[in-house]
Amino acid sequence: FDYPMMDISENKTPKSIIGELFYFSDLSQAIAELDQVEGFSGFGVSHNEYDRTLIPVTPRHEAPTLSWCYVARDLSSATKEIMSGSWKQYKSGF
C-alpha cells in the first residue's frame, strides 16, 4: 500500500501507533479541508473510504485526550501490518 491505514476494529488487540497530533486555531475550517483530502463526505455516507472517528490519544509529555482520526473502512488492500506502529519509520526502511 502507498499510505497507512489504521484498524481499530473490536477484534484487534490495541497497539500503540506513532503519529503526529496537530492543533488548529480554526478546527471547523481544518476539518472541512481534511475531509476533502481524505474523501470524507459526512457521517453515514456509504462511499467514504474513511470514517472520521474520535479516538483516545496520549501525546508525549501531555495528558491523554481525544483526537479526530480518519480510519479506513475497507482494509482488504492493507497487506502488511507495520509492527513498529510508525509509518515514517517503515517508509525510511528502519
Beta bridge partners of 50: 72
Least confident of 30-34, 50-54, 73-77, 86-90: 73-77
Q: Is 18 part of a structural domain of the chain?
A: no
State the pTM of this model. 0.76
Residue-number span of the structural domain to which 36 is assigned: 27-92
Q: Is 2 part of a structural domain of the chain?
A: no
Q: Is 56 helix (H, G, I), strand (E, B) or coil?
A: strand
Q: Is 19 part of a structural domain of the chain?
A: no
Q: Is 74 part of a structural domain of the chain?
A: yes
pLDDT at 68 over 90: yes
Element (H, E) at 30: helix 27-38
- What's the structural domain count of the chain? 1
Q: Is 6 part of a structural domain of the chain?
A: no
